[in-house]
């Protein structure tokens, strides 16, 4: 390699020093100007606060959550899938969060590292608002699978089941089939409107074929399904779980229909 590592190091240090500056905000706070920005162009708010113990606290003073709350229900960042991701972000970046304030405490010699660490954390928290539809679906099905297998033994469950007595059965997949107490249980996960509509069609086809079955419908968030779609699904389906976060309800309703012995 012909690169001059020392020169690269000097260049990098000059660039980084030019990108980060500190100025006085008030008698208690210093503002850290960084190259980190929200999607709307607003800069991250990162401050230095001296704690009574002499430790330095890098803090956003609650600004990040307030900024995101304008267009998002930030309470959901602490629930379900987003809550687990939020906890993972905190663990990976070593930040703390209290009443919406995101901070990290550091010795002065580790200040530079922790400025980038809190910047990384704020970026990842901001990205929680951009969980795309496909990613949310994938995570939902993984969580559903995990919860289901905690309650019912794997050998009692058939994943991606087809009711062969129905014409073109391969066009109408059933997420899970479980031997029920009184009839086979067909379990459907519903992360969005499209799956709600597909499940309605499948259930109506099963009813038309006079299939003997019971059904359990588990939503990612029932409130996200348009009323008309939900009404049609309600007419065709059986028991429903409004959210995968309702683990106790899921277990109770599932055990009403299947035997775990």
Q: What is the pLDDT along the chain (261 residues), one digit of tens a residue?
A: 566 667 766 776 666 676 788 888 888 889 988 888 887 888 999 999 988 888 889 999 999 999 988 877 788 778 777 788 889 999 999 999 999 999 999 988 888 889 989 999 999 998 877 664 555 666 788 889 888 988 998 888 999 999 999 888 899 999 999 998 889 999 999 998 999 999 999 999 999 999 999 999 999 888 888 899 999 999 998 889 998 888 889 999 998 888 776
Least Cα distance to 207 among 182, 233, 225 occurs for 233
Taking the domains of the chain in order of start, what are their residue ranges?
A: 5-130, 133-257
Which residues lie closer than 8 Å to 258 by C-beta, 6 or more apart?
Answer: 152, 156, 178, 179, 180, 181, 185
Least Cα distance to 187 among 152, 215, 164 occurs for 215
Q: Please say whether the structural domain 133-257 has been given the CATH code 1.10.760.
A: no
| pTM, full prediction | 0.54
Least Cα distance to 237 among 257, 218, 260, 256 occurs for 218
Half-sphere exposure of 93 (CA within 13 A, CB side): 25
DSSP state of 77: G
CB-count burial class (<10 Å; 0-12, 13-18, 19+) for 212: exposed
pLDDT for 97: 93
H helices of the chain, in order, are 5-19, 63-69, 80-93, 111-127, 133-151, 193-208, 227-236, 247-257
Whether 48 contacts 112, CB under 8 Å = no
């Amino acid at each position: 390699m012909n690169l001059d590592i020392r020169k690269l190091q000097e260049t990098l240090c000059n660039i980084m020093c030019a990108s980060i500056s500190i100025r006085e905000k008030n008698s208690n706070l210093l503002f850290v100007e960084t190259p980190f920005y929200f999607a709307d162009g607003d800069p991250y708010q990162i401050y230095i606060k001296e704690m009574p113990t002499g430790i330095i606290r890098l803090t956003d003073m609650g600004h990040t959550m307030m900024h995101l709350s304008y267009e998002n229900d930030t309470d959901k960042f602490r629930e379900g899938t987003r809550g687990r991701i939020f906890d993972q972000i905190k663990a990976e970046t070593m930040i703390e969060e209290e009443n919406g304030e995101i901070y990290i405490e550091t010795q002065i010699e580790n200040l530079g590292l922790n400025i980038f660490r809190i910047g990384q954390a704020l970026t990842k928290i901001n990205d929680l608002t951009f969980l795309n539809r496909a990613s949310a679906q994938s995570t939902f099905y993984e969580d559903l699978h995990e919860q289901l297998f905690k309650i019912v033994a794997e050998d009692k469950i058939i994943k991606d089941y087809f009711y062969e007595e129905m014409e073109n059965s391969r066009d109408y997949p059933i997420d899970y089939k479980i031997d029920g107490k009184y009839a086979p249980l067909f379990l459907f996960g519903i992360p969005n409107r499209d799956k709600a509509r597909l499940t309605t069609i499948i259930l109506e086809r099963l009813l038309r074929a006079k299939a003997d079955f019971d059904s359990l419908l588990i939503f990612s968030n029932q409130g996200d399904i348009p009323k008309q779609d939900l009404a049609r699904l309600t007419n065709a389906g059986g028991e429903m779980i409004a959210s995968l976060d309702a683990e106790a309800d899921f277990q109770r309703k599932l055990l009403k229909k299947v035997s775990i012995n």
